[in-house]
């Protein structure tokens, strides 16, 4: 998205990713209004969202103790505000989860007050005594 500032309005262009056509949708931001050019209705809705409050599903891994593998893959339960993604990563770096974990289990509720939760995306068993952990995927 590129922006050119004007006194009264801002122009930008959004690459639409709703379908493989990849239209470019022009967005003119006036004081209290958005004017969209190009694309289909779904694309324009996407462009509006991208300009007003862009959000992404964030996926990463967190440390898991006592499990068959050392990292637990996780996702946000819903799209998360884009500008706070690095803040979220910093928060997750300190997180430790204890095995076992089931896929779909909510690990942290209301991440950074956004109302979005952290969800496990893989089932990881707890290792029994004498069992050896292996990283092999």
Distance of CA 42 to the CA centre of its chain: 20
At residue 44, what are phi and psi to the nearest 5 degrees? -65, -35
Burial 13-35 (b: 16+ CB within 10 A, else e): ebebebeeeebebebebeeeeee
Which parts of this chain interact with other proteins (CB under 8 A)?
Answer: 1, 15, 17, 20-22, 56-61, 63, 68-71, 73, 75, 82, 85-86, 89, 103, 121-123, 134-137
The sign of the torsion formed by the CA atoms of 106, 113, 80, 43 equals: positive
Instruction: Considering the complex, state which of residue 10 and residue 60 has its C-beta at the smaller distance from other proteins.
Output: 60
CB of 1 to other proteins, least distance (A): 7
In terms of CB distance, is 6 or 82 closer to other proteins? 82
- Which lies closer to other proteins via its Cβ, residue 33 or residue 135? 135
| C-beta closer to other proteins: residue 34 or 85 | 85
Fill in the DSSP letter of residue 17: -
CB of 41 to other proteins, least distance (A): 17
């Amino acid at each position: 998205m590129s922006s050119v500032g004007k006194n009264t309005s801002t122009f930008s262009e959004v690459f639409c990713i709703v379908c493989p056509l990849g239209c470019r949708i022009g967005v003119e931001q006036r004081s209290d209004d958005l004017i969209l050019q190009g694309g289909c209705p779904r694309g324009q809705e996407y462009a509006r969202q991208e300009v007003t409050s862009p959000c992404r599903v964030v996926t990463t891994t967190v440390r898991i103790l006592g499990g068959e593998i050392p990292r637990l893959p996780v996702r946000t339960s819903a799209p998360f505000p884009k500008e706070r993604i690095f803040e979220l990563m910093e928060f997750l770096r300190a997180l430790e989860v204890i095995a076992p974990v089931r896929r779909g289990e909510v690990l942290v509720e209301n991440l950074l007050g956004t109302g979005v939760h952290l969800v496990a995306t893989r089932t990881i068993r707890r290792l029994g005594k004498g069992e050896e952990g292996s990283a092999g995927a």
